[in-house]
Structure 1
Amino acid sequence: MMIKLLAALAVAWLGWWLWQGPKRVHTSGRRPGAPASEPMPSGDHASALATLGVDARASDAEIRAAHRRLLQAVHPDHGGSAELAQRVNAARDTLLKRTD
């Protein structure tokens, strides 16, 4: 009886594992070892605008609002990935010209 139960659990786990698929690796656009708050490299201003979904004339308040909205959607604590959260943070830092 115990062997059947263990076999059923093993088959269920294997099915779940196969259904989930391999873990996806997201590229963050940062150089390896760079801190998460590092701004995007210079020249990526257009990329930062596209990441946050704002136009070039966006005010600081609009940039912060777009950052907050996107970060709530991609935050690792809410099912998103750390790499996407870092990309959103880097875009905000680039557009607000943060260096801290």
Structure 2
Amino acid sequence: MLRLIIALIVIVGIWAAMAHLRRLPEKQRKSLLWRMLAWGGGLGLILLVATGRAHWLFAVLGAMLPLAKMLLGVGLQLFPLWKQRQKTASSSSPPSGPMSAREAMDTLGLKGEESRLTRDEIIAAHRKLMQKLHPDRGGNDYLAAKVNEAKALLIKRLG
């Protein structure tokens, strides 16, 4: 009788969870489904260990999987920093020498004549490039310095 009640509770719980999942947006649904599967697997593992059907080491290894996933994520986030450290100092420093107006326009991706440029066009082109090339967003120091130098030169020439 106890098994029947537990089975009935599990079936009602699964039915309620599925009804709730159907109402959520796709991204939240996927996230919640993975969390539910992880919790269900963990509870099932605990039940197997408690009833003597699985060795306790198996449960410990299963409990370590989320920790391994988190450590892998942290490692992947730190990998670009490690790779950047491997670069030589000479490749990260911008070259010396003045930049021409044409080179500055090419750097910012601006077309046409220098005399027809407006301050707003220069700033918009600079902002667009810096969103992609900033060192905090995965770019490098050299490209960011070139883009900044091009913006400063063109704005200075505008007057």
Give the TM-score normalised by the residue count of structure 1: 0.58
The 1-side partners of 2:147 and 2:96 are apart by 12
* Aligned partner of residue 156 in structure 2, secondary structure: coil
Matched, 1:60 2:119: yes
Matched, 1:23 2:87: yes
Bigger RCO of structures 1 and 2 (CA < 8 A, at least 6 apart): 1
- Between Structure 1 and Structure 2, the one with more helix by share is 2
What is the root-mean-square deviation in Å for CA atoms of aligned residues?
2.4
Gaps of 5+ in 1: 1-15, 32-40
Equivalent position amino acid for 2:94 in 1 = S
Gaps of 5+ in 2: 1-78
Q: Which of 1 and 2 has greater Rg?
A: 2
Query: By how many angstroms is 1:27 displaced?
Result: 5.9
User: Taking every aligned residue pair, what percent have the same amino acid on both sides?
Assistant: 41
How many residue pairs match? The answer is: 69
Q: Compute the displacement of 1:96 (Å).
A: 0.3
- Which amino acid is 1:45 matched to? A
Q: Distance in 2 between matches of 1:27 and 1:93?
A: 18
Matched to 1:23, the amino acid is K
Q: Report the AA paired with residue 90 of structure 1.
A: E
Tell me the TM-score normalized by structure 2: 0.38
Q: 4+ residue stretches of structure 1 with deviation over 6 A?
A: none
| Contact 2:134–2:141 (Cα < 8 Å) also in 1 | yes
Indicate yes or no: 2:101 matched with 1:45.
yes
Amino acid at match of 2:132: A
